[in-house]
Amino acid sequence: MNHVGTFPDLLTRIGAFARERLVPLEAQVADSDLIPEDIIDEIRALGLFGITLPKEYGGLALTASEEVQLVFELCWAAPAFRAYVGANNSLGGRAILWGGSEAQRTHYLPRIASGELITAFALTEPGSGSDATALGTHAKRRDDGCWVINGSKRFITGAPEADLINVVARTDPHSSGGQGVSIFLVERGTPGLVQSPPDRKMGQQGMHTGDLHFDDCVVSADALLGEEGKGFRLTMRTIDRGRLYIASACVGLAARLIHESLQYALERQQFGRPIAEFQLLQAMLADSQADYLAARSFVLQTAKRCDDGEQISMDASCCKLFASEMVSKVADRAVQIFGGAGYMQSSAVQRLYRDARVYRIYEGTTQIQQTTIAKHMIRQATMM
């Protein structure tokens, strides 16, 4: 990894990388649906595949507070670049760090942190989305200890290219809900695993999602991640933490959208003066800035509480809910500020508007955050 110097140095480096290397490539990446290999190499060299993984596994070992600030900087550029490293840093890598045996950690984490391995976290299925425990994918243990996985996953980030997939499957056929669910580490090329070509998405081109199919896919006993039957708890723990990560990505993107909006409002002239002088335009700019600062402060505060060892489950949901709704509003206002130009394919804001939309959907939709937050509130109130 290439993180030498202080944390502020690293932030400066990532900010410059996003502005000077990534932003100029955004349109090309969107058109080709491909991040150039030399850029992926630079991302690797910057250590961005292992932001919070411990140093002993080759990661940057950033705290949550540092991580969110780094993501603010990285997400000045189109979200696909952050998403490309997303599973390694969040659901994929972290699940192995928290749930893996020492053998699994030493085998996989250094290659995850270096970006040699691309990981994916496969929970969602055709019949199991918000109801994440309605899993159809199941794994059965054979007499020789190996597991046989059958089922299908969909919309999985990194599925087409992933080298290592954390697969959530039911292992106790008599169980229901979050009980009797386990996670398996399935490597690319395992017989019975089919990784489908990329989906055609509304936005975030360059980051791929796809289906995964498991047809009598056999993995050895040591592919089980964590305790048998306890995989859903580990999944939820990593998703909780992942929500803070997603919220920080929303904040970074909002900063960029506000920048684009302000620059355009200062340059574009109507009625003989810059549109930034019209108070109705100023209201949009001001609302976006206030929304952005509120989300930024909230994310920083929650990250600090996470670093202090506090339970942040509800607050992480609140952050994800607030920041994802915030960035959608900011993106919508950006398109409005650009007027007709904002509706044209040639403008960055229409692309970022489409990119932003998914933040209200994945890692728990807005409605699921709302029900989760309310459940926490009710539980807290009735425990007293």
Question: Which residues are tagged catalytic?
Answer: 363
The distance of closest approach from Cβ of residue 269 to ligand FAD in the complex, given in angstroms and rounded to an integer, is 38
CB of 278 to ligand FAD, least distance (A): 36
Q: How many CA atoms lie within 13 A of 125 on its CB side?
A: 20
The residue from 65, 114, 119, 124 that contacts ligand FAD (CB under 6 A) is: 124
What pairing do the DSSP bridges indicate for beta strands 209-219 and 224-225?
A: unpaired
Contact status: 181 vs ligand FAD (CB under 6 A): no
Nearer to ligand FAD, 152 or 365 (CB): 365
Q: Which stretch binds ligand FAD (CB under 6 A): 4-12, 149-157, 218-226, 316-324?
A: 149-157
Check binding of 121 to ligand FAD (CB under 6 A): yes
Indicate the angle between helix axes 64-74 and 279-307, nearest 10 degrees. Answer: 150
The answer to whether 213 and 150 are in contact (CB under 8 A) is: no
What's the start-to-end Cα distance of the chain, in Å?
Answer: 48
Shortest Å, Cβ 242 to ligand FAD: 10
User: In the set 48, 368, 369, 373, which binds ligand FAD (CB under 6 A)?
Assistant: 368
CB of 361 to ligand FAD, least distance (A): 5
Closest CB to ligand FAD among residues 171, 205 = 205
Q: Count Cβ neighbours within 10 Å for each residue of 65-84 and write b for 16 or more, e otherwise.
A: bbbbbbbbbbbbbbbbbbbb
Cα gap 278→258, rounded to integer Å:
17
Nearest to 164 by CA among 115, 131, 201: 115
- Taking CB under 6 A as the rule, does residue 369 contact ligand FAD? no
Token representation of residue 232: 């859903």
Cα(242)–Cα(337) distance, rounded to whole angstroms? 32
Would you state the structure tokens that stand for residue 186, as one six-digit string? 């399935």
- Separation of alpha carbons 115 and 111, rounded Å: 6
The two three-digit tokens of residue 240, written as one number: 């909780």
Stretch that binds ligand FAD, among 222-230, 272-280, 348-356, 358-366 (CB under 6 A): 358-366
* Number of residues counted as binding ligand FAD (CB under 6 A): 20
Output the residue with the shortest Cβ distance to ligand FAD.
129
Residue 209 C-beta: closest distance to ligand FAD, Å = 5
Q: Which of 172, 325, 365, 376 binds ligand FAD (CB under 6 A)?
A: 365
Of 124 and 317, CB closest to ligand FAD: 124
Judged by CB under 6 A, the stretch of 54-62, 236-244, 322-330, 365-373 that binds ligand FAD is 365-373
**Which tokens in the block code for residue 55?**
């140093």
Query: Smaller CB distance to ligand FAD: residue 123 or 335?
Result: 123
- In the complex, least distance from residue 256 CB atom to ligand FAD, rounded to whole angstroms: 19
Residue 241: name the closest of 124, 98, 132 by CA.
98
Site string for ligand FAD, 75-114 (x = CB under 6 A): ----------------------------------------
* Residue 292 in the binding site for ligand FAD (CB under 6 A): no
Q: Minimal distance in Å, beta carbon 133 to ligand FAD?
A: 12
Q: Contact 120/165 with Cβ under 8 angstroms? A: yes
Does 274 sit near ligand FAD (CB under 6 A)?
no
- Binding status of residue 209 toward ligand FAD by CB under 6 A: yes
Alpha-carbon gap, residue 384 to 382, rounded angstroms:
5
CA–CA gap between residue 336 and residue 75 (Å, rounded): 22
Q: What is the token pair recorded at 354?
A: 């489409």
Task: Kindly tell me which residue out of 10, 71, 77, 123 binds ligand FAD, with binding defined by CB under 6 A.
Answer: 123
| Contacting residues for 341 by C-beta, under 8 A, at least 6 apart | 264, 347
Tokens of 123: 């929970």
**Chain residues in the site for ligand FAD (CB under 6 A):** 120-124, 129-130, 155-157, 201, 209, 358, 361-363, 365, 367-368, 371
